Amino acid sequence: MGRLFVVNLEGEGNIYSCKHCRTHLALSQHIVSKSFHSRHGKAYLFSKVVNVSFGEKDDRQMTTGMHTVADIFCVGCGSLVGWKYEIAHENGQKYKEGKSVLERFKVSGPDDGSSYWSSQEAHGGGSDADDV
Ligand SMILES: [Zn+2]
């Protein structure tokens, strides 16, 4: 496998990075909502993520309806870190299209501080929800 170009977000703001390998994944100013959930706890919706690769597109029934999503993997270590919304099938959920969710317990961020996000096994994207 070729060497991957990794975007460095240093100096751009508060960084969320992969908990396993510290690869930068997103910035706090790109958070759209902190009201999402995975099967494992809290998750954040970002308008932009970097240094990720995408899995196969998959139709999933989420809390807020049917969505076509792709799992997101850290390019540094291959960990599953969240999912991206390709298509939201429900009207009213369209704002999610093209945006990505990172599972909070998979990333280190500026608002770390509790051990609530204990490490658990992940098995692909789970539920979702939002504050709309
Ligand atoms: Zn990683």
Rounded distance from Cα 127 to ligand 1 centre (Å): 22
Per-residue pLDDT tens over the stretch 6-41: 899 999 999 999 999 999 999 999 999 999 998 889
Per-residue pLDDT tens over the stretch 42-89: 999 999 999 999 999 999 999 999 999 999 999 999 999 999 999 999
Q: Is the pLDDT of residue 117 over 60?
A: no
**pTM (two decimals):** 0.83
Rounded distance from Cα 17 to ligand 1 centre (Å): 8
Per-residue pLDDT tens over the stretch 85-107: 999 999 999 999 999 999 999 99
Rounded distance from Cα 90 to ligand 1 centre (Å): 32
Strands, sheet with 24-27, edge to edge from the N-terminal-most edge strand: 24-27, 15-18, 107-108
Measured distance CA(95)–CA(117) in Å, rounded: 27
Rounded distance from Cα 78 to ligand 1 centre (Å): 6
30: nearest Cα among 131, 127, 98: 98
Measured distance CA(93)–CA(18) in Å, rounded: 27
Q: Is the pLDDT of residue 3 over 60?
A: no
